[in-house]
């Protein structure tokens, strides 16, 4: 399991995507993904980053989005056919069903730092002894989270900061 510490305040998703596709992360690659995500559309830069990675690295990517309006927005954008958008509840049941391979989860960063609420992408590597083993790209550390903590971060993402919880996974 590789780790990596993001180099800017907004590159948690790009860093996580690089880890997930086994591409050695560095600041240039982080910024390339982020900038292309920002250029893709002005409504949501996450789908632009995912689209860029699908194009550049020829990866099939599944994106599970909780919010129906956001899912519909993504489906209207000119997204590469390698990106599959599914609207579904992002919950423990979904994560447990997908954890056969690593995934990215967007949740509330308050779970980790208890400072401010904002969306944060982490890599969930596996479930081990009833704990989720994750990489937090903010500090580049491996951490273990209980199911309860994971659910708390997802609920806070949805209910406190009003962002759609999202799961991203490479398809084979």
Structural domains of the chain ordered from first start: 12-171 (3.90.70.10)
pLDDT at 1 over 90: no
Does the pTM exceed 0.85? yes
Each residue's pLDDT tens digit, 54-84: 999 999 999 999 999 999 999 999 999 999 9
Mean pLDDT estimate for the chain: 96
By three-state DSSP, how is residue 146 classified? strand
Please state, in angstroms and rounded to a whole number, the distance separating the CA atoms of residues 169 and 68.
19
HEC secondary structure over 81-116 = CCEEEEECCCCHHHHHHHCCCCEEEEEECHHHHCCC
Each residue's pLDDT tens digit, 3-29: 999 999 999 999 999 999 999 999 999
């Amino acid at each position: 399991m590789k780790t990596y510490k993001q180099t800017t305040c907004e590159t948690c998703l790009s860093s996580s995507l690089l880890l997930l596709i086994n591409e050695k992360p560095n600041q240039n690659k982080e910024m390339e993904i982020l900038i292309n995500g920002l250029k893709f559309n002005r409504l949501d830069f996450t789908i632009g980053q995912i689209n860029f990675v699908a194009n550049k690295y020829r990866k099939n990517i599944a994106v599970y989005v909780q919010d129906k309006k956001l899912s519909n927005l993504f489906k209207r954008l000119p997204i590469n056919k390698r990106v599959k958008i599914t609207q579904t509840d992002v919950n423990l049941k979904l994560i447990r069903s997908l954890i056969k391979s690593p995934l990215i989860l967007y949740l509330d960063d308050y779970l980790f730092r208890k400072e401010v609420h904002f969306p944060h992408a982490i890599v969930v590597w596996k479930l081990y002894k009833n704990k989720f083993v994750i990489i937090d790209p903010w500090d580049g550390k491996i951490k273990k989270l209980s199911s309860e903590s994971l659910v708390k971060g997802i609920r806070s993402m949805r209910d406190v900061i009003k962002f759609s919880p999202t799961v991203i996974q490479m398809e084979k």
